[in-house]
Structure 1
């Protein structure tokens, strides 16, 4: 069972590498100098996914109790922060068809989502089947 978990982690890192390689190709094609920003977005998605995967797969009842408290605190903070700070920064992206005129925004959102989902699945599977971390 541990071999499956480790092979799942390996596949996750391979997917991350492919995403970064594709981001490099897209930035070269669009002549956009923001490749470092895109990689940072990918890493943020990866880290967020690992955190969510960790929080949804507790191993012991003590860990379950501690993680549920941490999860509710983090959820309240993130929801409050997103309502107050993040929404105004999305307004310029959607104004005047900016999202359609600048495809890099959509690409970055997809990169974040892909990295988030793969990392969350990796961490969940790893913790469920190995009982570590």
Structure 2
């Protein structure tokens, strides 16, 4: 019964991803914004990041736990050093002159990223936890 739950959880995750992409398409049509491909890319990157985090927090074996802890340390160091230094200049144009408030697509893209990230992380965690035990 438990493997069925993990597979059904994955199915629900893919359904949620499809709904998010459909809603993004509708929003882009209503806002007359041609950046739908960028929004899909943001959604996919959120999905991939969520799967990675879900994979890292749910190791199946002790050997995998050891390897993943090393990978997690490396990824954390990379994110803390290089990415954080590069992110701030990228966000400056978004926040200047009230552009974030004047263009709702930025907020929509952030929400799409967060939704995809969280759903994918939960899916991967549940899938690995339930398939490990049963």
- TM category, shorter: over 0.9
Deviations along 1:84-112, whole A, 9 cap, x unmatched? 21110101111111100010000000000
Aligned residues: 132
Give the match's secondary structure for 1:67: helix
- State the distance in 2 between where 1:97 and 1:82 align: 25
The 5 A counterparts of 1:28-107 are 28-107=29-108
- State the distance in 2 between where 1:73 and 1:111 align: 27
- State the distance in 1 between where 2:91 and 2:130 align: 39
Could you say what the CA RMSD is over the residues aligned between the two structures, in angstroms? 1.0
Give the match's secondary structure for 2:60: coil
Structure 1 window deviating more from structure 2 (86-95 vs 114-123): it is 86-95
- State the distance in 1 between where 2:111 and 2:34 align: 18
- State the distance in 2 between where 1:115 and 1:81 align: 24
- State the distance in 2 between where 1:105 and 1:80 align: 25
Give 4+ residue runs of structure 1 displaced > 3 Å after superposition. none
Q: Specify the alignment match of 2:112 in structure 1.
A: 111
Q: Unaligned stretches of 5+ in structure 2? A: none
Give the match's secondary structure for 1:49: helix
Deviations along 1:59-102, whole A, 9 cap, x unmatched? 11111111000001011101212222111010111111110001
